[in-house]
Structure 1
Amino acid sequence: MQRAFLPSFLLLSALAAGLNEARAARLVAPATVQDTIVMRLPNRATLTLTVRDAAQLRQLKNYHLDSLTTRLATYITQAEAAAKAGTTNQVTMRFYPDKDQPGQNLPEEIRITAHKPGTDGEKGPTKTQVFLNKKFGIVTTKDGDGHNSFSIGTDGNATANAREDSLKREKRRRSASVELGFDIGLTTLVNSSSTASLQVPSYNNWRSTYINFGLFYVQPLHYTKKSKLAFTIGPEFSGNYIRLTGNDQWVQNGNRTFVETAPDAKQIQQATLYVGTLNLPVMLRLKLKNKEDRTTLSAGIGGFGGTRLTSNIKTEYRLAGTDYNSEDKISGTLNLTPWTYGLQGEIGFHALQLFAKYNMNELFKEGQGPKTHLLTVGLNVLGF
Structure 2
Amino acid sequence: MINVNETTNSMTKTLITAALFLSFLTGVNAQTKKPDTVIVELAKSSKLIFTIKDLSDLPTLKAYDYQALFKDILAKIEAKDTALVAVTPMMTEKSFSNEDWGNFDRKDKDRDEDDDDWDNHSRRKRHYRKNSQSFFNFDLGTNNFLQDGKFPDQDNENYAVRPWGSWYVGFNSIQKIRVTGKFYTELGLGISWYNFKFQNDGIVMNKGDQGVEFIEQTLPEINPIKSKLTASYINVSVVPVIDFGSRPHKSLLWGNSDAFRMGIGAYAGYRIGSYAKQVYTIDGDRERERTRSNFYLNNIRYGARLQMGYRGTDIFVNYDLNELFIADKGPKLNAFSFGVIF
* Distance of 1:377 and 1:313 partners within structure 2: 22
Give 1:285 shift: 1.4
**2:95 aligned with 1:106, yes or no?**
yes
8 Å contact from structure 2 (residues 158, 200) kept in 1: no
Give 1:170 shift: 8.2
Q: Could you tell me which amino acid in structure 2 is paired with residue 208 of structure 1? A: S
8 Å contact from structure 1 (residues 199, 370) kept in 2: no
Per-residue CA shift, 1:31-53, capped at 9, x if unaligned? xxxxxxxxxxxxxxxxxxxxxxx
Partner of 2:130: 174
* Distance of 1:338 and 1:267 partners within structure 2: 33
Secondary structure (helix, strand or coil) at the match of 2:170 reads: strand
8 Å contact from structure 1 (residues 273, 311) kept in 2: yes
- Residues 205/109 of structure 1: CA separation in 2 closer, same or farther (3 Å cut): same
Task: Please list, as runs of the form range in 1=range in 2, the aligned pairs for 1:281-360 lying within 5 A after superposition.
Answer: 281-289=237-245, 294-295=256-257, 296-319=259-282, 322-360=283-321
* Distance of 1:345 and 1:337 partners within structure 2: 23
Give 1:204 shift: 0.6
Partner of 1:218: 176
Which stretch shows the higher mean deviation, 334-343 or 198-207? 198-207
Give 1:105 shift: 4.9
**2:223 aligned with 1:273, yes or no?**
no
* Distance of 2:242 and 2:312 partners within structure 1: 15
Give 1:252 shift: 1.4
Give 1:104 shift: 4.2
* Distance of 1:102 and 1:200 partners within structure 2: 97
- Residues 242/261 of structure 1: CA separation in 2 closer, same or farther (3 Å cut): same
* Distance of 1:180 and 1:107 partners within structure 2: 53
- Residues 294/353 of structure 1: CA separation in 2 closer, same or farther (3 Å cut): closer
Partner of 2:103: none
Partner of 1:232: 186
Give 1:245 shift: 1.5
Partner of 1:261: 216
Per-residue CA shift, 1:334-370, capped at 9, x if unaligned? 2100111000111112222111000011111112122
Partner of 1:204: 162
Give 1:288 shift: 3.9
* Distance of 2:183 and 2:96 partners within structure 1: 44
8 Å contact from structure 2 (residues 207, 296) kept in 1: no
Q: Could you tell me which amino acid in structure 2 is paired with residue 254 of structure 1? A: G
Task: Give unpaired runs (5+ residues) of structure 2.
Answer: 1-85, 100-122
Give 1:374 shift: 0.6
8 Å contact from structure 2 (residues 146, 334) kept in 1: yes
* Distance of 2:212 and 2:296 partners within structure 1: 6
Secondary structure (helix, strand or coil) at the match of 1:174 reads: helix
Secondary structure (helix, strand or coil) at the match of 2:294 reads: coil
8 Å contact from structure 1 (residues 312, 329) kept in 2: yes
* Distance of 2:231 and 2:98 partners within structure 1: 67
Identical positions, percent:
17
Which residue of 181, 185, 207 maps to 2:141? 185
Partner of 1:244: 198
Q: Could you tell me which amino acid in structure 2 is paired with residue 347 of structure 1? A: M
Per-residue CA shift, 1:286-339, capped at 9, x if unaligned? 2244799751222111001121011000111112xx111111111121210011
Task: Please list, as runs of the form range in 1=range in 2, the aligned pairs for 1:61-210 lying within 5 A after superposition.
Answer: 102-109=91-98, 171=127, 174-192=130-148, 199=157, 201-210=159-168
- Residues 172/269 of structure 1: CA separation in 2 closer, same or farther (3 Å cut): same
The TM-score with structure 1 as length reference comes to: 0.52
Give 1:262 shift: 1.1
8 Å contact from structure 1 (residues 203, 243) kept in 2: yes
Q: Which has the larger radius of gyration?
A: 2
Secondary structure (helix, strand or coil) at the match of 1:302 reads: strand
